[in-house]
Chains A and B, each alone.
Chain A
Amino acid sequence: DAKTTQPPSMDCAEGRAANLPCNHSTISGNEYVYWYRQIHSQGPQYIIHGLKNNETNEMASLIITEDRKSSTLILPHATLRDTAVYYCIVRDPTYNQGGKLIFGQGTELSVKP
């Protein structure tokens, strides 16, 4: 699997955009970028994933650089409820290729009033 690197922690002001970076310089052509988050005392929650095009859903936007070596998860208007640990994971989704999904240390995002 491609290794990912994320900053251990970040702060964001409530109402502002939170931009969470992830480096995955060894990503291969078949591997997608997945983002999850874990709010304190809850199970992780899937947010978004993408291959090379930028993606947007009701929760967030995912921007992947053209060379695919890094990506940014954007929470456009962060709220206090977005305080969580955010995990960036790179995986091949193909059956028999995907294997186990491993979570790293993630980025602890603190949204402050």
Chain B
Amino acid sequence: GAGVSQSPSNKVTEKGKDVELRCDPISGHTALYWYRQRLGQGLEFLIYFQGNSAPDKSGLPSDRFSAERTGESVSTLTIQRTQQEDSAVYLCASGPFSGANVLTFGAGSRLTVL
């Protein structure tokens, strides 16, 4: 597609449930990022994939968070045993190999944990 697609756009879940968020990057983009943005706060880096290199997971806040990406395609961010503090907008971005810092962002997935 022409842009970065994220789904679902909105997710409401109960505390303790697992959620999976999906990101479809721009075709051919080797770089893929996940960020979290709590209400009224800045962007918090979570994880970075670059091609077939080992991902940089240094931003994942706990072992309840994990992300996968197969090659240069779709990525999924999984949050297990959700907590209320996980409520946020989760943003995905992708970038080309030659300009890995020029990112295109998706519209985000808004997660609300009750």
Contact = CB atoms under 8 A, between A and B. Distances in A.
Contact of A93 (B45, B93, B100, B104): B100
Contact of A45 (B42, B45, B105): B105
Interface string B47-60: 01010010010110
A102 B45 contact: yes
Given A44-B91, A101-B45, 10 more contacts: A34-B101, A43-B107, A49-B102, A95-B50, A98-B50, A100-B58, A101-B103, A103-B35, A104-B42, A106-B42
A100 B59 contact: yes
Given A43-B91, A104-B42, A98 B107 contact: no
B106 A101 contact: no
B33 interface: yes
A45 B99 CA distance: 15
A44 B105 contact: yes
B33 A100 contact: yes
Contact of B48 (A34, A100, A104): A100
Interface in B22-47: 33, 35, 42-43, 45
B103 A46 contact: yes
B101 A49 contact: yes
Contact of A43 (B48, B97, B101, B105): B105
Nearest to B56: A100
A28 interface: no
